[in-house]
Amino acid sequence: MRILLLAFLLGLPLLAQDAKAPTVGIAAEISQLVLPGPELKVKVLEDRHDPMVLRIKAVFPHGDAFRYDLVYYGLEPGKYDLREYLERKDASSTADLPAIPVEVRPILVPGLPVEPRVLQPRAVEGPGGYRALLIGIGVLWALGLIWILASRRRKQAVAAASVERPKSLADHLAPRVEKALAGELPTAGMAELERMLLLFWRRRLGLSDMRAAVAMGVLRQHAEAGPLLEQLELWLHRPGTSGEVDVAALLAPYRETSAESFLREVEEAQAS
């Protein structure tokens, strides 16, 4: 029986490694992972710029060992051993733990060109005579119709804007923040919220060329970006310990930004 248990434990790292590797910022889960020895907990990170985030979702007794559900996501691509982020609750040694290798894939495909290909001009034969006159009249008529329709839509848009205030980024984020405060936002939702905030502030503060982990450390110290990011980290890693939270104050820096324009930026970032 012990031989079978040992073989099962040694095979667990291979199971974790064979799972489809997540991309940067996407949460992944390892379920029912049996690890030997006393109960484990996640280490308190001394380096706030560490590119790996690990959380123990659930733990169950399993004979002389324990069975764990782990949730993790990486801020930088690479290969990691989750064993390095665990420690015993009783402070005993973790030397008997097997490796827990995982991989985080980059968002961009290796070798993908980052600049569009330059289009070469081509000579086009143009129509002439009576045919050209008819085409010109048709183009002018179409342009006039487009101008009339655009003017009408512009007037309708101005009238609608005067009646209804455009939705701000704070309005867009508020439901997610309130769910996180109530403990109802899943880990994937928190990871998505953190990615949105990171994209927003990196573009606003000119940190796009900085590594994600380094940029996150800078933003945590920023007077406007820091409060919501720090609060999100508490909800993610220490749920139930945030105390009273002023949601309106956390969302104040995002009230002057249009939700529509920001979501368009997110789509452009994902498309690139």
**168-207 confidence digits (pLDDT tens):** 877 888 888 788 777 777 878 777 877 777 777 877 878 7
Is the pLDDT reported for residue 222 higher than 60? yes
Amino acid 39: pLDDT: 94
| Residues 103 and 21 sit within 8 Å (Cβ to Cβ) | yes
- DSSP codes of every residue in 117-129: PPPPP---PPP-T
User: Cα separation of 83 and 92, whole Å?
Assistant: 14
Summary mean pLDDT of the chain: 78
Amino acid 242: pLDDT: 55
DSSP 126: P
Domain coordinates of the chain in residue numbers? 2-104, 169-271
Radius of gyration for the alpha carbons in the chain, expressed in angstroms and rounded: 27
Amino acid 98: pLDDT: 94
The separation between the first and the last C-alpha atoms of the chain, rounded to the nearest angstrom, is 53
Amino acid 88: pLDDT: 94
pLDDT digit string, tens, across residues 109-143: 666 555 566 667 666 555 556 777 888 888 999 99
Is the pLDDT reported for residue 15 higher than 90? no
Give percent of the chain with pLDDT exceeding 90. Answer: 24
